[in-house]
Amino acid sequence: MKQYQIAVIGSAGSEEYPYDKPLAAMFEAAEKIGQLLAVNKLIVVCGGKGGVMEAVSRGAKSAGGITVAEIAGLSRWAANDYIDVEIVTGDLAFRGPSQLIAMSDAVIALGGGSGTLQEICVAYRLQKPIILLRGFGGWVDKLSPVSFLDERRLVKFYQATTPENAVQKALSMLK
Protein backbone atom coordinates (compact mmCIF):
# COMPACT_ATOMS: atom_id res chain seq x y z
CA MET A 1 0.00 0.00 0.00
CA LYS A 2 3.01 2.21 0.31
CA GLN A 3 3.09 4.82 -2.38
CA TYR A 4 5.72 7.26 -3.46
CA GLN A 5 5.85 10.35 -1.29
CA ILE A 6 6.58 13.65 -3.05
CA ALA A 7 7.50 16.81 -1.19
CA VAL A 8 6.12 20.03 -2.62
CA ILE A 9 7.76 23.08 -1.08
CA GLY A 10 7.29 26.81 -1.45
CA SER A 11 6.17 29.99 0.22
CA ALA A 12 3.58 30.11 2.97
CA GLY A 13 1.90 33.19 1.62
CA SER A 14 1.84 36.83 0.90
CA GLU A 15 3.03 38.14 4.25
CA GLU A 16 6.39 36.47 3.77
CA TYR A 17 6.44 37.07 0.05
CA PRO A 18 5.85 40.76 -0.70
CA TYR A 19 6.68 40.16 -4.24
CA ASP A 20 6.69 41.53 -7.74
CA LYS A 21 5.18 38.29 -9.06
CA PRO A 22 1.49 37.61 -8.80
CA LEU A 23 0.92 35.10 -6.02
CA ALA A 24 -2.31 33.80 -7.55
CA ALA A 25 -0.43 32.18 -10.43
CA MET A 26 1.96 30.47 -8.04
CA PHE A 27 -0.85 29.06 -5.92
CA GLU A 28 -2.67 27.92 -9.04
CA ALA A 29 0.44 26.07 -10.16
CA ALA A 30 0.79 24.46 -6.73
CA GLU A 31 -2.85 23.33 -6.81
CA LYS A 32 -2.32 21.79 -10.23
CA ILE A 33 0.76 19.95 -8.98
CA GLY A 34 -1.28 18.53 -6.11
CA GLN A 35 -3.97 17.32 -8.48
CA LEU A 36 -1.49 15.67 -10.82
CA LEU A 37 0.36 13.95 -7.99
CA ALA A 38 -2.91 12.56 -6.62
CA VAL A 39 -4.08 11.41 -10.05
CA ASN A 40 -0.82 9.50 -10.29
CA LYS A 41 -1.40 7.91 -6.86
CA LEU A 42 1.45 9.77 -5.21
CA ILE A 43 1.24 11.01 -1.63
CA VAL A 44 1.80 14.75 -1.18
CA VAL A 45 4.12 15.76 1.67
CA CYS A 46 4.31 19.44 2.55
CA GLY A 47 4.33 21.98 5.32
CA GLY A 48 0.94 22.47 6.92
CA LYS A 49 0.64 26.22 6.59
CA GLY A 50 -0.95 28.43 3.94
CA GLY A 51 0.17 29.59 0.53
CA VAL A 52 1.81 26.96 -1.65
CA MET A 53 1.30 24.37 1.08
CA GLU A 54 -2.44 24.87 1.26
CA ALA A 55 -2.79 25.09 -2.51
CA VAL A 56 -0.97 21.84 -3.19
CA SER A 57 -2.97 20.03 -0.50
CA ARG A 58 -6.26 21.38 -1.81
CA GLY A 59 -5.33 20.18 -5.27
CA ALA A 60 -4.40 16.73 -4.04
CA LYS A 61 -7.61 16.32 -2.04
CA SER A 62 -9.71 17.46 -5.01
CA ALA A 63 -8.31 14.46 -6.88
CA GLY A 64 -8.75 12.01 -4.01
CA GLY A 65 -5.12 11.92 -2.89
CA ILE A 66 -3.53 11.53 0.52
CA THR A 67 -1.82 14.58 2.05
CA VAL A 68 0.75 14.63 4.82
CA ALA A 69 1.99 17.79 6.50
CA GLU A 70 4.69 18.59 8.99
CA ILE A 71 3.92 21.41 11.38
CA ALA A 72 6.17 23.22 13.81
CA GLY A 73 5.32 23.13 17.50
CA LEU A 74 3.71 20.33 19.49
CA SER A 75 0.04 21.24 19.05
CA ARG A 76 -2.28 19.16 16.93
CA TRP A 77 -4.86 20.59 14.51
CA ALA A 78 -2.49 23.32 13.38
CA ALA A 79 -2.44 22.39 9.70
CA ASN A 80 -4.69 23.72 6.98
CA ASP A 81 -8.00 22.03 6.12
CA TYR A 82 -6.67 19.83 3.32
CA ILE A 83 -4.28 17.73 5.36
CA ASP A 84 -4.97 14.08 6.21
CA VAL A 85 -1.96 13.22 8.35
CA GLU A 86 -0.32 15.79 10.58
CA ILE A 87 3.28 15.28 11.72
CA VAL A 88 4.05 17.38 14.76
CA THR A 89 7.76 18.19 14.60
CA GLY A 90 8.55 20.56 17.46
CA ASP A 91 10.31 23.87 17.24
CA LEU A 92 10.59 26.04 14.16
CA ALA A 93 13.49 25.46 11.78
CA PHE A 94 14.77 22.66 13.90
CA ARG A 95 13.49 19.44 12.60
CA GLY A 96 10.45 19.88 10.41
CA PRO A 97 12.19 20.82 7.17
CA SER A 98 14.56 17.86 7.37
CA GLN A 99 11.73 15.52 8.38
CA LEU A 100 9.63 16.49 5.40
CA ILE A 101 12.47 15.99 2.93
CA ALA A 102 13.85 12.78 4.42
CA MET A 103 10.54 10.99 4.00
CA SER A 104 10.14 12.05 0.36
CA ASP A 105 11.19 10.31 -2.83
CA ALA A 106 11.43 13.52 -4.87
CA VAL A 107 11.04 17.23 -4.20
CA ILE A 108 9.22 19.83 -6.31
CA ALA A 109 9.99 23.45 -5.36
CA LEU A 110 8.47 26.73 -6.55
CA GLY A 111 8.95 30.30 -5.36
CA GLY A 112 10.27 30.02 -1.85
CA GLY A 113 12.03 31.95 0.89
CA SER A 114 14.56 30.88 3.49
CA GLY A 115 12.54 27.86 4.65
CA THR A 116 12.30 26.50 1.13
CA LEU A 117 16.02 27.12 0.63
CA GLN A 118 16.76 25.18 3.83
CA GLU A 119 14.68 22.29 2.50
CA ILE A 120 16.49 22.37 -0.85
CA CYS A 121 19.82 22.15 1.00
CA VAL A 122 18.62 19.09 2.91
CA ALA A 123 17.28 17.47 -0.27
CA TYR A 124 20.56 18.08 -2.04
CA ARG A 125 22.61 16.65 0.81
CA LEU A 126 20.35 13.59 1.06
CA GLN A 127 20.57 13.29 -2.74
CA LYS A 128 16.85 13.40 -3.41
CA PRO A 129 15.70 14.26 -6.93
CA ILE A 130 14.94 18.01 -6.95
CA ILE A 131 12.71 19.70 -9.53
CA LEU A 132 12.79 23.50 -9.67
CA LEU A 133 9.57 24.90 -11.15
CA ARG A 134 10.69 28.28 -12.45
CA GLY A 135 8.75 31.45 -12.98
CA PHE A 136 7.45 32.33 -9.54
CA GLY A 137 10.47 34.16 -8.18
CA GLY A 138 12.01 33.41 -4.81
CA TRP A 139 14.95 31.08 -4.24
CA VAL A 140 13.84 28.63 -6.91
CA ASP A 141 14.31 31.25 -9.61
CA LYS A 142 17.59 32.40 -8.07
CA LEU A 143 18.88 28.83 -8.13
CA SER A 144 17.54 27.80 -11.50
CA PRO A 145 20.51 29.06 -13.54
CA VAL A 146 22.80 26.62 -11.71
CA SER A 147 22.79 22.86 -11.91
CA PHE A 148 24.26 22.01 -8.53
CA LEU A 149 24.11 23.57 -5.10
CA ASP A 150 27.84 23.27 -4.52
CA GLU A 151 31.05 21.92 -5.98
CA ARG A 152 30.44 18.42 -4.70
CA ARG A 153 27.81 18.04 -7.43
CA LEU A 154 25.81 15.62 -5.29
CA VAL A 155 22.59 15.80 -7.26
CA LYS A 156 21.62 17.84 -10.31
CA PHE A 157 18.67 20.20 -10.26
CA TYR A 158 15.96 19.43 -12.79
CA GLN A 159 14.27 22.42 -14.33
CA ALA A 160 10.58 22.64 -15.08
CA THR A 161 8.44 25.40 -16.47
CA THR A 162 4.92 24.02 -15.99
CA PRO A 163 3.20 21.98 -13.27
CA GLU A 164 2.69 19.16 -15.79
CA ASN A 165 6.35 19.20 -16.65
CA ALA A 166 7.40 19.24 -12.99
CA VAL A 167 5.24 16.25 -12.07
CA GLN A 168 6.33 14.34 -15.14
CA LYS A 169 9.99 14.87 -14.22
CA ALA A 170 9.31 13.75 -10.65
CA LEU A 171 7.59 10.61 -11.92
CA SER A 172 10.46 9.82 -14.27
CA MET A 173 12.97 9.91 -11.44
CA LEU A 174 11.27 7.58 -8.99
CA LYS A 175 12.98 4.28 -8.45
- Contact residues: a second copy, CB under 8 A: 1-3, 5, 15-19, 43, 61, 66-68, 73-74, 76-77, 79, 81-95, 98-99, 102-103, 105, 113-115, 117-118, 121-122, 124-126, 138-139, 149-152, 154
- Shorter beta-carbon distance to a second copy: residue 50 or 162: 50
Per-residue burial over 20-48, b = 16 or more CB atoms within 10 Å of its CB, e = otherwise = eeebeebbebbbbbbbbbbebebbbbbbb
Rounded Cα gap, residues 47 and 57, in angstroms: 10
Per-residue burial over 117-142, b = 16 or more CB atoms within 10 Å of its CB, e = otherwise = bbbbebbbeeebbbbbbbbbbbbbbe
- Shorter beta-carbon distance to a second copy: residue 94 or 172: 94
- Shorter beta-carbon distance to a second copy: residue 127 or 165: 127
Contact of 102 with 122, CB cutoff 8 Å: yes
- Shorter beta-carbon distance to a second copy: residue 162 or 173: 173
Provide, rounded to whole angstroms, the least separation between the CB of residue 164 and a second copy. Answer: 25
Provide, rounded to whole angstroms, the least separation between the CB of residue 67 and a second copy. Answer: 8
CA atoms 75, 43, 101, 29: torsion sign = negative
What are the strands, taking DSSP E only, across 42-97? Answer: 43-47, 67-71, 85-88
- Shorter beta-carbon distance to a second copy: residue 24 or 77: 77
